[in-house]
Structure formats: structure tokens, C-alpha cells
Amino acid sequence: MSAKQNEPAASSGELVPVKFSRLTRRGILLGLSLSQLITLAIGILSIVGALYAGGGLLLAYTAPVWVIAACLTWIPVAGRPAVEWLPVAVWWLWRTTGGQLLYRRRVVKPRPVGTLALPGDQARLREYTDPETEAGMIHDPTAGTLTVVCEVTHPAFVLLDPGEQERRVTSWGRVLATVCRSGRIATLQVLERTLPDSGTGLAEWWEAHGTADDSWAAQTYAELIDRAGPAGERHATTLSLALDMNASARQIRTAGGGLRGAAAVLRQEMNTLVAALRSADLLPSGWLSPGQIAVILRSAYDPAIAATLERHGQLGQSLATAGPVAVNESWARLRTDSAHHAVLWVSEWPRSLVYPGFLSPVLLSTGIQRSFSLLCTPMRSDQAARDIRKKKVEHISDQAQRAKIGQIEDAAQTAEYHDVLQQEADLTAGHGVLRYTGLIAVSAPTVEELDAGVAAIEQAAIQASCETRLLVGQQAAAFTAAALPLCRRI
């Protein structure tokens, strides 16, 4: 999913609706994807070969081949052609036979210094502490990225008046435009998650403003805060910035090379982002230290301990022990230390004009522990221009091919082509192009509560004019991208 990120004109006090580009569903030829064309070619070659070699009898013998090819090409399964499920199924079977669906912490064998105790391909991640800012940075040597995390506080958007909402949307657009112009950022992740409130905020407020005079009212109020605090719910928002070390190789060498040089280049992007956030009236609370990142990771895998970790600030602040003790992955869900998880993908953003705040039914859902992750991948201007030109050529070629065979152009194909033209006009006007990926991780202590939470989030997404799909066969990788502030991709 891609959408332009522009800088709207000055607000006149009224909200301006926005529109997302449609998810491209056009294939390589006549609406068929590459995998469909391959299976269709296999079926056609088997029929032609049988007719030339042995006639009708050999055609009957080869019937299983071309019948299966036709079924894989044309029969849909859960809204997708059956052949497109083959890579997912094969990868799942390979992981099943290889024992890749289970993870257990080796408590006796110590981990190498600087590594993260995370399952799967996250075991390759390395910890680095910036000597100047004391910020915790996560290095992925395989992907060539260096990631830093910042916590952001902000007022409730839905409670602001329309003029203030439009002003903040314009300011946020400038923040994203700043990220696009750099050319050195691999991913910007916005992670909004619900956490069980430990009651620390209420206790601090009562300590600062309350009157502890041993009266009946004061004692009752103190007991109420002590009991109701842990049962509450709060929202936390983080921004994660991933530096593309390959695209920044020259600047890194100039800064001294290695992780130290990469950290120096990333600091420049961090300062730019902080200035942009402050101009957008967002309050960055500082770049998180390795201990603070460890608490977020531990709370994601073990939600039951989240309130305790917040109450006791020194507990769990070690990346070497922040990962889960056990992980069991199944086809449609994930089981970690104290919770079951399921990850949904926002497969379709609103197709019509919507106003800012359209995601409020999802983000303001109560009684559900969930994490909403928005992965923003900026595209360089030259790369975006090449991609747009390629899409235009494909659309025009498909249109000409359909005209030759007498196939009618439908409205969806016309709308996709208009989206491409709009993106080209926005890029020409100097705006940036971002690819958005939305993921929702739902967590619950039992399978029954998880199913109820997933159903509630799916209904909330419908109210937000979005479509969601359960990411079956890849829940472990999807959970790391949806619930952890590490700019991970799936």
C-alpha cells in the first residue's frame, strides 16, 4: 500500500479528507500473477504435448497434471488463488519438519555479549549503546540497519477541535516529508499499544495533590487508587527510526566507519526528527535506553509482568534477558510466556475519502490488549519515479491486450490507473512517496479471549472502512513486526 505524503495548504478551520492508494491487484498479464502464469503454462504444455505425442489416450493419462494446474490457477482459497498459498504452505511444512515452530530459552548456556535473547531470525540482532546520547541502538547485520526508539506523548486527537486537528495533520505531514527527503532512512515505525496501567500515575498524582490526613475520605480514596490502578489501561506510543547503512555508506565512512560512524549518522537523523516532532506539537520524551527497550520487549512477550515492571523501574532492564522463555507458533496464532497472540494485516485502507482520525474505532477499542504498528517505508525520488513509470507501462499494456481480446475494462482497474497518475503528479510536485503497512497484534491470556478480541478488532476495522486479514502461517514473524519497536518487516 502506498500513499503520498504531502504538505497541505494552510488550514481554513475545516478538516480536509484524505485518500489512500488502492492495493494493486493487477497481474502481469490479463490479471494473472507470475505464479498463476507458471501453473497455467504447465497445464497448457502438458495438454499440447499429450496431443502431439499420443492423442486422446495420453491426454487422459496427463489429466491429473493439467487439471491440478487449472485448479491451482483459477480456484480461490480465502480470497487468493490456490497457487499463491503454495509458498506459504511449503515454508510452513519446512519449518514444521525442522522444528522451527518451537523456541525455548537456554537458561544454562549464556548468550554472547551484546546479543538479544529473541527467537527466530531476531537472534542475529545486536545491541549498541550510543556513547553521546546513551540511546539504545539495535543493529541488524543482515539487513544492514541501525534502529533507535523514541517515546512520544500527545493529546487525544479525537478531543481536539477540527481546526486544531487539521493543523496537527499538516504538521505530521511535514514530519513524514522530512523522513522522505533524507534518503538514508530505511523505515519509520509508529507503534501504538495498550498496556495494563500499574497505577503509578494515579499514585503520583495523589502523592502530589492529595491530602493524607487519615480521614475516612482520604483513606477510602487511597484504597480506591491502590485497587483500581492495576485494573486500568493506558496507551503508549513510540517512534522507531531505522538507518539504512547501505544507503549511508559514504557518510558512515566519513564519520569513522563501523557502528560508531553509523551511530553518528543516525544522530543527525534523530536530531532532525526531534525538531520536526516538536514543530508538530508532539512531545518526544527522549531516546530510549537499552533498559527501556528491554522492558518493552519483555512486556510484549509477557504481558502479565508489564504492570510489575512499570512499578519497579529497575526490573527487567537488560536486553540479554528481555526475550521470551518459550514460544509456540501455530498456523493462526502464537503462544508466548503468558499470553496468546494473533496478528492481523490491514490489507485494504479506505477506498474513499476519509477524515483524519478514521482509525479511532480500532485505536480506542477498550478491554482489548493490542498493538497497532504502522510501518512507513520512504522511497527515494528516482526509485519512486521508476516504479511509477513501470506501473504506467504495465497498465497501458494490459489495457491494449484486453482490447485485443475484447475484454472490458472494469472500474477497479481504472481506479488503480488513476492512483498511479495521481502519485506521478504528487511526485512531480515535490512530495514524498511512502509505502504504508498496517499490522495489529491482539493479545489475551486465553484462546477464547483471543478469538473474542480478534473478532472485536475486525469489526472495529470495518467501522474504520478498512479490511483486515489474519496472517496465517507466519504469525511469529508478523508478531515481531507488529508488537516490537524494531522496524522489522515480514
Task: Give tens-digit pLDDT for 360-375.
Answer: 999 988 889 999 999 9
Using alpha carbons, list the distances in angstroms from residue 159 to 8, 123, 357, 477: 22, 42, 10, 35
The pairs formed by 418-425 with CB atoms below 8 angstroms and a separation of 24 or more are 419/21, 419/22, 420/388, 420/391, 420/392, 420/395, 421/392, 422/4, 422/21, 423/2, 423/4, 423/21, 423/384, 423/388, 424/385, 424/388, 424/392
Note the pLDDT of residue 8: 42
Low-confidence ranges of the chain (pLDDT < 70): 1-13, 22-31, 197-206, 225-232, 313, 430
User: How confident is the model at residue 289, as a pLDDT?
Assistant: 92
Which residues, 6+ apart, have CB-to-CB distance to 161 below 8 Å?
Answer: none
Q: What is the CA radius of gyration of the chain?
A: 26
**Residue 28 pLDDT:** 63
Sign of the torsion angle spanned by Cα atoms 72, 74, 77, 83: positive
Q: What is the pLDDT, as a whole number, of residue 23?
A: 67
Helices 216-228 and 200-209 cross at an angle (nearest 10°) of 160
**Angle at 117 (CA atoms; ends 116, 119), nearest 5 degrees:** 110
The rounded distance, in Å, linking the Cα atoms of 117 and 122 is 8
Can you give the pTM of this predicted structure?
Answer: 0.83
Using a CB cutoff of 8 Å and minimum separation of 24, what contacts does 44-47 make? none
Cα–Cα distances in angstroms (integers) from residue 276 to residues 153, 176, 405, in the given order? 14, 9, 53
pLDDT of residue 162: 84
The CA distances from residue 238 to 147, 188, 341, in Å, are 12, 10, 20
